[in-house]
Amino acid sequence: MAGWNLALRFGVELGALVGLGAGGWSLGGLVGGLAALALPLAGAAAWGAFNVEGDPSRSGRAPVPVTGAVRLVVEAVVFLGGTVGWFAAGRPTVGLVVGVAAVATTAASLPRIGWLLSH
């Protein structure tokens, strides 16, 4: 992946995780507080754990080896969940930015997506 795309992807990952927390917080009360902690932690844990063995865009290690299709679903759930979280938190502009950036970095990663789908 090109350096600009890696930087964009990293920004989208962070924006999505914060969006998951913001969406959880928007639930209010104790449930919202717990969700604000649990949702980004679950997203980060899934992101770090479920990997395709030998993925050149990552370390190549896979704590929990999955197929490329499963990995793409994990990424889509985190990106979409973070985008929706921003909307739920009353920040639609941020949600739109995260969503558009997620689509842009994904579109710029078509060779990686092809690799993932073949594994």
Per-residue pLDDT of the chain (119 residues; tens, 9 = 90+): 889 999 999 999 999 999 999 999 999 999 999 999 999 999 999 999 999 988 877 776 778 999 999 999 999 999 999 999 999 999 999 999 999 999 999 999 999 999 999 99
105-27-43-85 Cα dihedral, nearest 10 degrees? 0
Tokens of 69: 């299709």
Nearest residue to 115 (alpha-carbon basis) of 46, 56, 66, 34: 56
Q: Are 23 and 33 in contact (CB under 8 A)?
A: no
- pLDDT tens digits, 104-113: 999 999 999 9
pLDDT for 61 equals: 74
Q: Are 78 and 16 in contact (CB under 8 A)?
A: yes
pLDDT for 59 equals: 74
Kindly tell me the burial class for residue 44, based on how many C-beta atoms sit within 10 Å of its own C-beta (0-12, 13-18, 19 or more).
middle
Q: What is the mean pLDDT of the chain?
A: 94
pLDDT for 12 equals: 98
Q: 60 CB contacts (<8 Å, ≥6 apart)?
A: 53, 54
Q: Are 103 and 80 in contact (CB under 8 A)?
A: no
Tokens of 1: 């992946």
